């Protein structure tokens, strides 16, 4: 039962009582797991291109890119606080007057890695200079005291406050002449594959709390990069709409209330960004996470794989458009319909219903047209070497439809032996490396919100002020939100996936000049 105050809060959040009740019903019903049929593997849902084929697709994309409008879409709202989790723990646990840093490092291996690589971090000089300002006798302190002061200088809200920053604005890479943020590196990278006619469009989804920080960084770097690269940049930002937030309830299925008595609404995950993606009007959209970026010297080769993915997309899109136009014409023969069916199955990974064989020619035309006239995504897939991330699977939905999907591990009933076996047979995972075509065969933009599987939402358990709460996450942007797109998965090397999940990842060779 909602109070008048609750109803006002719901309206102010851009929601309705009916929608919030639907959310509560969904959360109470529990998680609907994906029904995995088998893992997608090479030759069974994942394409592998040899060097010659890769070059042909790269060349094809290069020949077409200046005729296209292209944008790079970068989810960048993540705060850096998770990167520093073990360092916050260090500040809470370590007392240099009672324990040596060597003894503490034995209990916390991440601290050992951090301290051994300290001078290699791109922020080392900045933090050290700040520490000397606030602690003039810094160099005379014991090693444990120095470590404590260094980390406190990084994270203290009254000092550098790195934990508050978005991940995209932290120092990521150190060059001979400057230090670069992930945000800046994405501008340089866009030139390599996501630009046309000496213009690069980038769209970043950010937290509204960080908008001034991003705008300030853009003002500092934009003119210099444009002069250096002779490329004009069009940079835009958007925020996750509050109306996509979802309500939280307690483990006992009661409304959770804050100490002030208010309802609690939480961001519903990156699936909410479908509205942001849908607002973009371009021929091609590259999607890549903010933290998956390497130093410039290594990026040239890696960027070729994204050109390859775009080439695959343009070739398959051209053939799809040709067939869609043919399906609209009156003189199409039965042989041609059969050829289009083979294309849908063998090239587009479309599963044809059993009832299709008994359809009349006109019914077959209508069916194939509906299956082909959808947004297309080409997704890079990397060999699974123990990295976190969702995976590519053949999935059957509640209506019995079989399709190729990217499935998060949270969507899999790992306690079910058959589902667990399928997961263990998986060879690849999703590094969030996509190229998307969102226009139809007549050049009109698809409404991407129509291709979401709402049943692919999932429930999460979180802690709020020491209370376990249940919350709803919308279908992930590249999971259930793209469930009804046409999907083609292509193998890319593990070198294309270099995320920074903890600060120690910045010590990897891919992030060192």
455 falls within a domain:
no
pLDDT at 181: 97
d(CA 425, CA 4): 53
104 falls within a domain:
yes
Q: Specify the number of domains making up the chain.
A: 1
Please compute the mean of the pLDDT values over residues 310-320 and round it to a whole number. Answer: 98
Do 172 and 500 contact (CB within 8 A), yes or no? Answer: yes
Classify 299 as helix, strand or coil. Answer: helix
119 falls within a domain:
yes
Q: Return the ∠ at Cα 72 (arms to 235 and 441), rounded to 5°.
A: 120
**Other Cβ atoms within 10 Å of 112 Cβ, number:** 16
Burial 163-182, CB ≥16 within 10 A → b, else e = bebbbbbbbbbbeeeebbbb
pLDDT above 90: residue 203: yes
Classify 231 as helix, strand or coil. Answer: coil
Q: How far is CA 150 from CA 30, 118, 131, 171, in A?
A: 45, 10, 6, 16
pLDDT at 26: 86
Phi, psi of 96 (to 5 degrees): -65, -15
Which distant-in-sequence residues (6+ apart) come within 8 Å of 207 by Cβ?
A: 77, 79, 166, 239, 240
pLDDT at 388: 54
Using N-to-C axis directions, what is the helix angle for 17-29 and 4-12, rounded to 10°? 90
Does the CA dihedral 79-85-89-90 come out positive or negative?
negative
**Other Cβ atoms within 10 Å of 97 Cβ, number:** 8
H or E segment to which residue 181 belongs: strand 179-181
Query: By mean pLDDT, which of 150-154, 247-251, 457-461, 476-480 is the weakest?
Result: 457-461
Please compute the mean of the pLDDT values over residues 247-263 and round it to a whole number. Answer: 91
How do 458-464 and 467-473 pair as beta strands?
antiparallel
Do 72 and 288 contact (CB within 8 A), yes or no? Answer: yes
d(CA 488, CA 50): 17
44 falls within a domain:
no
Classify 505 as helix, strand or coil. Answer: helix
pLDDT at 296: 93
Do 10 and 2 contact (CB within 8 A), yes or no? Answer: yes
Please compute the mean of the pLDDT values over residues 40-50 and round it to a whole number. Answer: 97
Q: Which of 78-92, 184-198, 381-395 has the highest mean pLDDT?
A: 184-198
Which is nearest to 37 in space by CA: 409, 343, 401? 401
* Residue 442 burial (C-beta neighbours within 10 Å; 0-12, 13-18, 19+): exposed
127 falls within a domain:
yes
Burial 60-90, CB ≥16 within 10 A → b, else e = bbeebbeeeebbbbbbbbbebeebbebbeeb
Q: Using pLDDT thresholds of 50, 70 and 90, give the confidence band for residue 389.
A: low
pLDDT above 80: residue 46: yes
Query: By mean pLDDT, which of 46-60, 234-248, 330-344 is the weakest?
Result: 234-248
144 falls within a domain:
yes
Does the CA dihedral 368-371-374-376 come out positive or negative?
negative
pLDDT at 458: 79
d(CA 58, CA 65): 10
Report the share of the chain in percent with pLDDT over 70. 99
User: How high is the mean pLDDT of the chain?
Assistant: 94
d(CA 222, CA 10): 40
Please compute the mean of the pLDDT values over residues 70-90 and round it to a whole number. Answer: 93
pLDDT above 80: residue 52: yes
146 falls within a domain:
yes
pLDDT above 80: residue 31: no
d(CA 88, CA 511): 23
Query: By mean pLDDT, which of 128-142, 342-356, 385-399, 403-417 is the weakest?
Result: 385-399
Do 391 and 428 contact (CB within 8 A), yes or no? Answer: yes
Classify 259 as helix, strand or coil. Answer: coil
Please compute the mean of the pLDDT values over residues 352-362 and round it to a whole number. Answer: 95
Classify 475 as helix, strand or coil. Answer: coil
pLDDT at 466: 77
pLDDT at 387: 61
> Percent helix, strand and coil across the chain, each rounded to 5?
45, 20, 30
Please compute the mean of the pLDDT values over residues 316-343 and round it to a whole number. Answer: 97
Does the CA dihedral 342-343-346-350 come out positive or negative?
negative
112 falls within a domain:
yes
**Which residue range forms the structural domain that includes residue 92?**
88-155
Report the share of the chain in percent with pLDDT over 90. 82
Q: What is the pTM of this model?
A: 0.93
State the residue for tokens 């070497």: 385
pLDDT at 353: 93
**Other Cβ atoms within 10 Å of 225 Cβ, number:** 16
pLDDT above 90: residue 243: no
Tens-digit pLDDT profile for residues 431-485: 999 999 999 999 999 999 999 998 888 778 887 777 888 888 888 899 999 999 9
């Amino acid at each position: 039962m909602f109070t008048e105050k609750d109803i006002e809060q719901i309206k102010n959040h851009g929601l309705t009582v009916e929608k919030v009740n639907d959310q509560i019903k969904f959360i109470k019903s529990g998680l609907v797991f994906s029904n995995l049929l088998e893992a997608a593997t090479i030759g069974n849902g994942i394409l592998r291109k040899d060097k010659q084929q890769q070059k042909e697709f790269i060349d094809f994309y290069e020949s077409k890119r200046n005729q296209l409008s292209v944008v790079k879409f970068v989810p960048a709202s993540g705060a850096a606080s998770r990167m520093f989790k073990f360092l916050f723990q260090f500040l809470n646990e370590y007392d240099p007057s009672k324990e040596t840093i060597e003894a503490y490092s034995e209990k916390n291996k991440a601290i050992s890695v951090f301290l051994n690589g300290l001078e290699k971090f791109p922020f080392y000089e900045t933090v050290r200079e700040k520490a000397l300002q606030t602690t003039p006798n810094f160099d005379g302190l014991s090693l444990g005291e120095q470590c404590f002061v260094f980390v406190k200088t990084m994270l203290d809200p009254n000092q550098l406050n790195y934990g508050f920053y978005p991940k995209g604005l932290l120092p990521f890479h150190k060059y001979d002449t400057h230090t670069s943020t992930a945000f800046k590196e994405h501008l340089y990278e866009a030139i390599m594959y996501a630009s046309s006619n000496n213009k690069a469009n980038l769209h970043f989804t950010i937290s509204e709390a960080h908008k001034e920080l991003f705008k300030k960084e853009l003002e500092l770097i934009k003119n210099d990069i444009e002069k250096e690269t002779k490329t004009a940049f069009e940079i835009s930002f958007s925020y996750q709409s509050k109306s996509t937030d979802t309500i939280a309830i307690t483990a006992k299925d009661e409304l959770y209330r804050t100490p002030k008595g208010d309802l609690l609404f939480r961001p519903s995950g990156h699936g909410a960004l479908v509205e942001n993606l849908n607002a973009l009007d371009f021929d091609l959209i590259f999607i890549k996470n903010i933290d998956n970026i390497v130093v410039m010297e290594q990026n040239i080769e890696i960027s070729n794989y994204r050109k390859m993915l775009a080439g695959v997309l343009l070739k398959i899109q051209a053939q799809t458009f040709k067939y869609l136009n043919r399906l609209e014409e009156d003189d199409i023969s039965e042989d041609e319909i059969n050829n289009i069916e083979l294309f849908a199955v063998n090239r587009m990974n479309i599963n044809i219903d059993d009832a299709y064989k008994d359809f009349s020619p006109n019914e077959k035309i209508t069916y194939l047209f509906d299956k082909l006239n959808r947004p297309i995504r080409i997704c890079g897939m990397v060999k699974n070497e123990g990295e976190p991330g969702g995976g590519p699977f053949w999935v059957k939905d509640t209506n019995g439809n079989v399709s190729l999907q990217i499935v998060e591990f949270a969507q899999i009933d790992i306690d079910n032996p058959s589902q667990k076996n399928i997961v263990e047979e998986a060879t690849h995972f999703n590094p969030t490396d996509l190229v998307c075509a969102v226009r139809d065969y007549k050049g009109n933009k698809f409404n991407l919100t129509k291709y979401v599987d709402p049943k692919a939402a999932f429930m999460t358990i979180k802690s709020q002020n020491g209370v376990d709460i249940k919350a709803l996450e919308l279908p992930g942007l590249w999971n259930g939100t793209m469930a009804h797109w046409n999907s083609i998965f292509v193998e890319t090397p593990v070198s294309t996936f270099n995320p920074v999940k903890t600060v120690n990842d910045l010590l990897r060779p891919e992030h060192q000049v």
